[in-house]
Amino acid sequence: MTREKFNIIALAGVALVAFGLPLVVHSATYLHILIQLWLYAYLTTSWNLVGGFAGVLPLGHAAFIGIGAYTSTVLWLQYGISPWIGMLIGGFLATIVGIIIGLPTLKMRGAYFALATIAFAEGLRVMVENIDRLGPFVLNGPRGLQIPPLETGFFSFMFISKVPYYYIILVMLSGVLAFTWFISRSKLGYLLNAGGEEPEAAMALGINVARAKLIAMAMSSFLTALAGTFYAQFTLYIHPKSIISLDLSFEIAFIALIGGRGSIAGPVLGALLLRPVSDFSRIYFGDTLPGMHLIIFGVVLILVMLFQPRGLQEPLSRAYNRVQARLFASKAMEA
């Protein structure tokens, strides 16, 4: 057996466990936690396209989640357009917004880009909170939008059980991971890595760093908006403070930084560690200590940056490679 086949078998085993969990996990609470885990892994992987490979630090991705959620919800409630179609329309709108934001801001360095994305996300939240109607579209301001669970089925993206939501977000996560893997090995991936690590050297070689980062921003915006539709259909209620909040943007960035930004597995590893912490801290401390999960995230982030600045994926990758090397070494001795 070659190392490539070993990796494929290991990946297939992980996928088999992930897709088989609903067969053994019947608790609605634990299924909800698992769905949230895969949702945040999806969001962080989408963020990672620009926040990891492009080497910048966007802290306003909740804006794209909000665009996706509000677009599909308004189209469904007012015009009866399936959320699946609204999901694509929301993704298209988020892409346009991402390009508009990226054109002037991606030329900024360091904290200036992060501050610009925060300003945009907060501006969008305040605007949505103070607008009841945008032309023919009803937004309901701070009251938000509630989706009545009157029609269930695939067309309405609404199900009685949590199991269909589980498989939908898991398929979405698998797709975005495969897409990220493809991008990382494409010409665009090499351009992004070069522009993210040494932008001056990359530009001296004739690489259009700004253009590569803008493409990454457009892809990240589109994919993030798709998760906004999923979130809206899963919770059946959205409002500005929950869907366009800085807490959500920061949480995505924390997961990526702790897991390992710029890697394929980092966002998933970060979500596996931090999402259960977040959910259980909200369950046990939500009333007495709101925001405790962000404090825990901050402490974990400080520890990771001190001892593993490239994220948790690096020591775990080294451990996996050691196990693989020993396995193949023992097989070689037996032969």
DSSP calls for 26-46? --HHHHHHHHHHHHHHHHHHH
Write the pLDDT tens digit of every residue in 285-302.
Answer: 766 676 676 777 778 778
Q: Which two tokens stand for residue 76?
A: 């469904």
What does the domain layout of the chain look like in residue ranges? 3-334
Average pLDDT of span 260-273? 90
For residue 229, give every residue at least 6 positions away whose Cβ sits within 8 Å of its Cβ, in sequence order, or none: 68, 69, 71, 72, 73, 83, 86, 87, 90, 157
Helix/strand/coil for 131: coil
pLDDT of 66 above 70 = yes
Helix, strand, or coil (residue 137): strand
Q: How many whole angstroms separate alpha carbon 220 and alpha carbon 98? A: 8
Tell me the two tokens of residue 131: 């607008």
User: Residue 335 pLDDT > 60, yes or no?
Assistant: no
* DSSP code at position 20: H
CATH (one of 1.10.3470, 1.10.287, 3.30.160, 3.20.20) for 3-334: 1.10.3470
pTM beyond cutoff 0.75:
yes
pLDDT single digits (tens) 222-264: 999 999 999 999 999 999 988 999 989 998 998 999 899 889 9
